Chains A and B, each alone.
Chain A
Amino acid sequence: MVSLERPYRKRVHDQISSYAQILAPGWDMAYVSLYRKYRSQTFDDVMGQDHVTKTLQNAIKMGKVAHAYLFCGTRGTGKTTTARLLAKALNCVDGPTPTPCNVCPACISITEGSAIDIMELDAASHRGIGDIKDINQNVKFPPMEMRYKVYIIDEAHQLSGDAKDAFLKTLEEPPAHAVFILATTESQSIPATIRSRCQQFDFRRGSLQDLRKRLHFVCDGEGVSAEEAALDMVAVSAEGSWRDSLSLLEQVLSYTDGGITVNDVNVVLGTVTQDFLFRLVETLIKGDERQAFDVAAEAVESGKDIQQLLKSVAQHIRNLLVAKVSSDLREMTTSEELAKKFRSQSAELDTGAMLRAMEVFTEAEKEIRFSDQHRLIFEMALLKATNALRGIQAPAPVQRQAPATPAPARPRQSEPAPPTTAQPPKEPDKPTEVSEPPVTVAESGKQDLPDFDKIADQWNQVLQHVRNIDVLAHGLLASAVPTAIRNNSLVLQFKGKGQAVLIDGDKSPKNIKRRALITALEKTFGVANIGIVCEVASAAPAPAPKKVERTPEPTAQENDSEPDPMDAVLDVFRDAKIVE
């Protein structure tokens, strides 16, 4: 028990993890976590960081080792590992070598964490100026056993401001025998003064392939068999972090007997099967709420965590989105079959719908933290998602306006859609796009417009009326020029997008600016509810303002000559109004 005090002999030594020496004899060496057991011990073994390891090895070969390094990168990408390797490479008995031997006393003591010349400082729990002063004082003494004194300062972003400043002089000109390695996950909180004194290396996230390779290697080392798809899932959940991948693998291993199966991974990570996700999204696409609820109930009643479930669904839709826009699905899955399934499901959806559905689920995931009614939130999300995937805006009630004059241009084909979004619109030709706000607008119940020339002539008068109603609106409209009448609406051209959005962004009567303009037009020409379309002037000179167009001219927004599918919808539902 004498040795108990040893870690306190020197402050910096607090962090040296030479616990083997303070254990009571007879204590069998404990189980070591996979991510510690399989910590890389040679540069070649560090995966996916060739740009770092090659550079360091070359520097050692050429004897050009810098005195300070800054290792940045997300968690579990090998910063501490590489720092320790560098310490070994410098101090190995075989002289500074790019391939440390791992058998000499120096290497062994570094691996064990008992080397007296390697100071691994936890900057997060020793963040004060006092701790840095200790380093400043001690660094001038030459190493006791080894060639270099290596200071590994982990979590360097947590050093206090004063500590960082106090460190600067030492970091710039340390004695020849000292090497500093700063490691951090938050490179942005390292001040430029420290950065400029260090050689900075950015560690990359691991690719799916690399992670899988490592998982295979570890599974072999542990003597367990694993299904390919199961390892795939673990690798995907690790989000590019090697440590995460091994933590997750360990989590699964502690649950399974023998081999790792997809089912094990699902049970332990609380995730659902791909098949389930495909089925659920299928019901959403079909717009079958009842079936969606039934499928969801399956998962909920089997005790799946709903927060995780929401995350998985959002992730699934994101995968569909990727499958839609990209041909490279390697970061998603390594299975060709699964990739095919993703592609075929994504073909049924358009990107706008997917984005909206994704938003619904991420929103619900946020909401769920503040409520205990998890199931309710999930079901609500499903309802909203059916609407989103069908191309209809989520439950915001559709506004109905009584037509001002009952004289629609064409006889009505069918009754207007009911205000709720519970039923799909009757046979739209293709999924409707609602995602392009600035292009179209239909104001219901409008009358025939006065001649364009008349409007152009009396525009100043209109502005005057606007000014009387709302001075700010007048300011906005000062830069606008009426350019044409198109689709029975007055087209205004704005210099800047900002003004156009203020008028056109919100088309409800709540938009005071827009209302002011419409009222002014009514006052001037005696026509109520004139439709307004706002355009932003492109870089090319604006078209001559005095020209009447009856047919739409291709503009920046409407380059293709195909009719806007929205028009078709609006033809059928005369009273419908696009609500943003």
Chain B
Amino acid sequence: MRLENIVAQDIAVRALKTSILRGQVAHAHLFCGPTGCGKASTALAFASALNCTDPGPDGDACGICMSCIRIDSGTDPDVGVISPDGNQTKMEQMQDMIRDLNYAPLSGKYRIFIIEQADTLNAASENSILKILEEPPPYAALILLSANPNSLLATIRSRCRMVRFRRARTDEVGDALCAKFTLPKEEAAAITACSTGLIGKAFTMATGADALEDRRLALAWLNDFLNSPSVAAVRTAGDMVEKCTPKKKNDPDERTRVRRLTDMLENMLSWYADLLSLLVRGDGAVVANVDQIDALRTHAPRFSTARLSDCVKTIMNTRRYLEGNATPQLALECMLLSLRPDQG
């Protein structure tokens, strides 16, 4: 992986490259940005660039030297990736890292540790890395990744050079998709709409068809429901629950159903977001669900802004209820009943 291949993070990549070129690499970085925006890939690419034996003139890795190949295949002894052990990253893991950092790198210039999901560090492990984070050995490069930097200790944040990752723009996601996969135009548009600017999410969707199918159904059902009498809520909710319940009995992943349902709600949210945008901004609106534009145009005038914000709030609350183990059928029925426009 090379920094050059990172999509849509020009600011972050530029800052990283510049720091390598000037020899001003910070000993601790905090990469922050939503899950799926490319933090982990960038961290690996940055590690390659740091230890590359034949770096390019722009500071990027060559991608073909021994070190780059090892890092790509995850076998480099100088690059450690620490991910949470269960729900937390534990103090023992941090102490192992601190111990390992006492040894100079074996082949490369830096000994690099990438701490994934740094917000899962528990209080003790967070505190235990404060000193090493402030004054590590000169060959150390620590990279913390976090989607929620605010939940880290302020003392940790202040010791790191923060690198911000952003969500990609719609066109960037589209381009990245086209470059990597060959997809029908409509499908690409749908994926782009669902990805909310997260390249990682878009790629996962492009490889598995489930999410796309779920989105198509969710929006179709929602449209149907808005055009039928309230009593249809029961049927629609039933359809949703049935679709999302795993076919196999005793599915090991109990959470599948909730996850799929909440993904459907997320799709509906994005649809309502487009409605709001259309309603307020009129023709100037940029719509995420491009494939739905006709349905959106028909429905938008039937809502008022106040009504729409109520709908949005209802969907958000329902998602929270589902995650809190509410009965899906009941929760969805209630939700659907309050999603109707002002008139009709």
Min distance, Cβ B319 to any Cβ of chain A, angstroms: 8
Known: A23-B104, A27-B139, A31-B25. A247 touches B14 (CB 8 A): no
Q: Name the residue on A nearest B33 (C-beta).
A: A305
B299-331 interface with A by 8 A CB criterion: 304-307, 309-310, 312, 316, 319-320
- Does B255 belong to the interface (CB within 8 Å)? no
Beta-carbon contacts of B21-56 to A below 8 Å, as 1s and 0s? Answer: 011111110000110000000000000000000000
Binds A, one of B72-80, B178-186, B275-283, B332-340: B275-283
Binds B, one of A289-297, A559-567, A568-576: A289-297
Q: Is the CB of A244 within 8 A of B138?
A: no
Q: Is the CB of A422 within 8 A of B169?
A: no
Q: Determine which residue in A30, A127, A374 has the highest number of CB atoms from chain B within 10 A of its CB, and name it.
A: A30
Known: A125-B128, A293-B280, A367-B316. A36 touches B158 (CB 8 A): no
Q: Is the CB of B15 within 8 A of A289?
A: no
B261-310 interface with A by 8 A CB criterion: 266, 269-270, 272-273, 276-277, 280-282, 284, 286, 304-307, 309-310
Q: Name the residue on B nearest A7 (C-beta).
A: B102
Q: Name the residue on A nearest B304 (C-beta).
A: A420
Find chain A residues with CB under 8 A from B286 CB. 297, 301
Which residue in A122, A304, A379 is a CB contact (below 8 Å) of B276?
Answer: A379
Q: Name the residue on B nearest A122 (C-beta).
A: B131
Beta-carbon contacts of B115-140 to A below 8 Å, as 1s and 0s? Answer: 00000000010011111101101110
Which residue in A267, A370, A372, A397 is a CB contact (below 8 Å) of B196?
Answer: A372
Please measure, in the bound complex, the distance between the C-alpha atom of A294 and the C-alpha atom of B284, giving whole angstroms. 8
- Does A558 belong to the interface (CB within 8 Å)? no
Q: Name the residue on A nearest B135 (C-beta).
A: A17
Find chain B residues with CB under 8 A from A268 CB. 11, 15, 164
Known: A373-B196, A397-B306. A36 touches B135 (CB 8 A): yes
Which residue in B109, B155, B198 is a CB contact (below 8 Å) of A75?
Answer: B155
- Does B154 belong to the interface (CB within 8 Å)? yes
Which residue in B137, B148, B155 is a CB contact (below 8 Å) of A185?
Answer: B155
Min distance, Cβ B256 to any Cβ of chain A, angstroms: 19
Known: A4-B104, A369-B148, A376-B273. A255 touches B305 (CB 8 A): no
Beta-carbon contacts of A379-398 to B below 8 Å, as 1s and 0s? Answer: 11001100000000001010
- Does B7 belong to the interface (CB within 8 Å)? no
Please measure, in the bound complex, the distance between the C-alpha atom of A384 and the C-alpha atom of B305, giving whole angstroms. 10
Q: Is the CB of A305 within 8 A of B166?
A: yes
Beta-carbon contacts of B226-268 to A below 8 Å, as 1s and 0s? Answer: 0000000000000000000000000000000000000000100
- Does B18 belong to the interface (CB within 8 Å)? yes
Find chain B residues with CB under 8 A from A29 CB. 138
Find chain A residues with CB under 8 A from B24 CB. 31, 250, 253-254
Q: Is the CB of A374 within 8 A of B167?
A: yes
Beta-carbon contacts of B146-172 to A below 8 Å, as 1s and 0s? Answer: 001000001101111111101111000
Known: A4-B104, A294-B281, A297-B286. A383 touches B309 (CB 8 A): yes
- Does B95 belong to the interface (CB within 8 Å)? yes
Q: Is the CB of B305 within 8 A of A127?
A: no
Min distance, Cβ B40 to any Cβ of chain A, angstroms: 18
Find chain B residues with CB under 8 A from A420 CB. 304-307
Q: Is the CB of B154 within 8 A of A31?
A: no
Q: Is the CB of A74 within 8 A of B128?
A: no
Please measure, in the bound complex, the distance between the C-alpha atom of A75 and the C-alpha atom of B24, giving whole angstroms. 23
Min distance, Cβ B143 to any Cβ of chain A, angstroms: 14
Q: Is the CB of B158 within 8 A of A75?
A: yes
Min distance, Cβ A124 to any Cβ of chain B, angstroms: 3
Please measure, in the bound complex, the distance between the C-alpha atom of A127 and the C-alpha atom of B129, giving whole angstroms. 12
Min distance, Cβ B263 to any Cβ of chain A, angstroms: 10
Find chain B residues with CB under 8 A from A7 CB. 102
Q: Is the CB of A247 within 8 A of B128?
A: no
Q: Name the residue on A nearest B137 (C-beta).
A: A19
From DSSP, what is the main secondary structure of chain B's interface residues?
helix
Q: Is the CB of B167 within 8 A of A124?
A: no
Find chain B residues with CB under 8 A from A305 CB. 33, 164, 166-167
- Does B206 belong to the interface (CB within 8 Å)? no
- Does B94 belong to the interface (CB within 8 Å)? yes
- Does A158 belong to the interface (CB within 8 Å)? yes
Beta-carbon contacts of B88-120 to A below 8 Å, as 1s and 0s? Answer: 000100110010001110000100000000000
B1-21 interface with A by 8 A CB criterion: 8, 11, 14-16, 18-19
Please measure, in the bound complex, the distance between the C-alpha atom of A293 and the C-alpha atom of B305, giving whole angstroms. 13
Which residue in B28, B109, B167, B270 is a CB contact (below 8 Å) of A303?
Answer: B167
Please measure, in the bound complex, the distance between the C-alpha atom of A301 and the C-alpha atom of B119, giving whole angstroms. 28
Which residue in A15, A30, A371, A379 is a CB contact (below 8 Å) of B316?
Answer: A371
- Does A33 belong to the interface (CB within 8 Å)? yes
Known: A255-B11, A255-B18. A244 touches B158 (CB 8 A): yes
Known: A185-B155, A395-B310. A373 touches B266 (CB 8 A): yes
Min distance, Cβ B218 to any Cβ of chain A, angstroms: 14
A160-191 interface with B by 8 A CB criterion: 185
Beta-carbon contacts of A279-308 to B below 8 Å, as 1s and 0s? Answer: 000000000011001100100010111001
Which residue in B157, B162, B270, B284 is a CB contact (below 8 Å) of A373?
Answer: B270
Please measure, in the bound complex, the distance between the C-alpha atom of A19 and the C-alpha atom of B111, giving whole angstroms. 13
Q: Is the CB of A297 within 8 A of B281?
A: yes
Q: Is the CB of B166 within 8 A of A395?
A: no
- Does A375 belong to the interface (CB within 8 Å)? yes
Q: Name the residue on B nearest A30 (C-beta).
A: B138
- Does A155 belong to the interface (CB within 8 Å)? yes
Please measure, in the bound complex, the distance between the C-alpha atom of A248 and the C-alpha atom of B50, giving whole angstroms. 22
Find chain B residues with CB under 8 A from A74 CB. 154
Report A's interface with B, CB cutoff 8 A.
Answer: 4, 7-8, 14-15, 17, 19-20, 22-24, 27, 29-33, 36, 74-76, 80, 113, 122, 124-125, 127, 154-155, 157-158, 185, 241, 243-244, 247-248, 250-251, 253-255, 257, 267-270, 289-290, 293-294, 297, 301, 303-305, 308, 367, 369-376, 379-380, 383-384, 395, 397, 420-422
Residue contacts A-B, CB under 8 angstroms, 5 given: A24-B104, A305-B166, A369-B148, A371-B266, A380-B312
Q: Which 7 A-B pairs have the closest CB atoms?
A: A124-B127, A376-B273, A125-B128, A30-B138, A19-B137, A122-B131, A254-B19
Extra contacts besides A20-B138, A31-B26, A373-B270 (4): CB < 8 Å: A255-B11, A297-B281, A370-B316, A383-B305
